[in-house]
């Protein structure tokens, strides 16, 4: 989402290399920045394949790199649950989606810090010491956070809205616990398939772009003294003016999406598909290993009267 497709031929020197040397883990110091490989004279992005991403993670921190930002993510999840409970209790259960938005806005520091931890070199610093100032993080990310929330809510309620509009009758259970299958005709399956297609379409063209915008805006807040594990254009093609010269110091929503190329969009979609297929393969393998054990246990289990 943030990798520069056309990085400079030279590797820029960190402005505070000596000051940050003690914070960076030894493995990252030895490895340094991993430059993208060249294919037919053109640079190939590191995030173009899962294997390349895996090699990059192992090169910067070894096995522990798989858990980068884990504690920050856990803290964000716990804090989100607590705040959602408080906001829902005050506003009422009907306004749970609003409580979700308020919790996300209140925790913009944690979500931004997580992005910074993931894209920057491994550091010995604790995640709470890398939290950006709340006002700066809020000013920069409240719009993309709200946009992402809106896209997620539209996608979440879209299937129910379409089912109501198409008068799709959802199968229910009778008093005996049997599912009523009378309305499951050909038209029912056609309507169900249409709802599924529209839901996937909304996820791809609403949720993913909103997520891209949010991550790119959060990444633009990365301190200048922190180096990244991938090539990263901090200026976003010259759209971002540093705060030191009077600019905002972060990318706007429009520029965050406008500087995201079609090639990057295609690469991201392909990566999502690969992750989905890998996840499904993992689930199938797990099911294949567990199912025989369940069958054996079920056969040896005797009913107790």
Cα separation, 222 vs 226, in Å, equals 7
Would you kindly state where each structural domain of the chain is located, as residue ranges? 17-172+180-260
Model-level pTM? 0.81
Strand partners, 120: 228
Q: Kindly report the backbone phi and psi dihedral angles of residue 242, in degrees, each rounded to the nearest multiple of 5, phi listed first.
A: -60, 150
Cα separation, 230 vs 161, in Å, equals 41
Give a three-class secondary structure readout of the chain.
CCCCCCCCCCCCCCCCHHHHCCCECHHHHHHCCCCCCEECCEECCHHHCHHHHHHHHHHCCHHHHHHCCHHHHHHHHHHHHHHHHHHHHHHCHHHHHHHHHHHHHHCHHHHHHHHHHHHECCECCCHHHHCCCHHHHHHHHHHHHHHHHHHHHHHHHHHHHHHHHCCCCCCCECCCCCECCCCCCHHHHHHHHHHHHHHHHHHHHHHHHHHHHHHHHHHCCCCCCCCECCCCCCCCCCCCCCHHHCCCCCCCHHHHHHCCCHHHHHHHHHHHHHHHHHHHHHHHHHHHHHHHHHHHHHHHCCCCC
Cα separation, 83 vs 285, in Å, equals 38
| pLDDT of 132 | 93
Tens place of pLDDT per residue across the chain (305 aa) = 788 777 665 555 555 555 455 555 555 555 544 455 544 444 567 777 788 888 888 888 788 888 889 999 999 999 999 999 999 999 888 888 999 999 999 999 999 999 999 988 888 889 999 999 999 999 999 999 999 999 999 999 988 888 888 887 776 666 666 656 666 778 878 888 888 899 898 888 999 999 999 999 999 999 888 888 888 888 888 888 887 777 788 999 999 999 898 888 888 888 888 888 989 999 999 988 888 888 778 777 666 55
Q: Which of 119, 140, 143 is nearest to 233 (CA)?
A: 119
* 196-217 tens-digit pLDDT: 899 898 888 999 999 999 999 9
Check if the beta carbon of residue 72 is closer than 8 Å to that of residue 127. yes
Locus of tokens 């990798």: 3
Alpha-carbon distances of 48 from 206, 215, 256, 274, rounded to whole Å: 22, 18, 20, 11
Locus of tokens 């991201």: 268
For residue 68, what are the contacts with CB-CB under 8 A and spacing of at least 6?
57, 61, 117, 118, 122
Fold of 17-172+180-260: Mitochondrial carrier fold (1.50.40)
Cα separation, 101 vs 149, in Å, equals 6
């Amino acid at each position: 989402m943030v990798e520069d497709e056309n990085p400079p031929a030279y590797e820029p020197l960190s402005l505070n290399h000596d000051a940050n040397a003690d914070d960076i883990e030894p493995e990252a110091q030895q490895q340094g920045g991993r430059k993208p490989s060249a294919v037919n004279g053109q640079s190939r992005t590191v995030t173009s394949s899962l294997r390349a991403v895996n090699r990059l993670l192992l090169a910067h921190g070894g096995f522990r790199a798989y858990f980068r930002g884990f504690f920050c993510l856990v803290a964000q999840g716990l804090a989100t649950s607590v705040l959602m409970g408080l906001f829902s209790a005050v506003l009422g259960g009907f306004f749970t989606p609003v409580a979700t938005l308020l919790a996300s806005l209140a925790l913009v520091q944690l979500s931004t810090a997580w992005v910074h931890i993931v894209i920057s070199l491994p550091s010995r610093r604790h995640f709470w010491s890398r939290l950006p100032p709340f006002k700066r993080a809020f000013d920069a990310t409240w719009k993309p956070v709200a946009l992402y929330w809106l896209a997620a809510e539209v996608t979440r309620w879209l299937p129910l809205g379409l089912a109501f509009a198409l008068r799709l009758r959802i199968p229910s259970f009778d008093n005996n616990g049997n599912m009523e299958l009378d309305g499951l005709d050909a038209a029912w399956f056609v309507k169900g398939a249409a709802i599924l297609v529209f839901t996937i379409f909304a996820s791809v063209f609403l949720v993913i772009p909103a997520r891209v915008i949010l991550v790119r805006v959060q990444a633009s807040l990365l301190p200048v003294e922190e180096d990244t594990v991938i090539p990263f254009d901090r200026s976003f093609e010259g759209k971002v003016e540093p705060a030191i010269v009077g600019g905002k110091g972060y990318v706007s929503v429009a520029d965050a999406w406008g500087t995201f190329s079609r090639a990057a969009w295609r690469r991201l979609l392909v990566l999502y598909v690969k992750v989905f297929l890998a996840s499904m393969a993992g689930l199938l393998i797990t099911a294949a290993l567990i199912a025989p054990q369940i069958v054996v246990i079920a056969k040896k289990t005797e009913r107790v009267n």
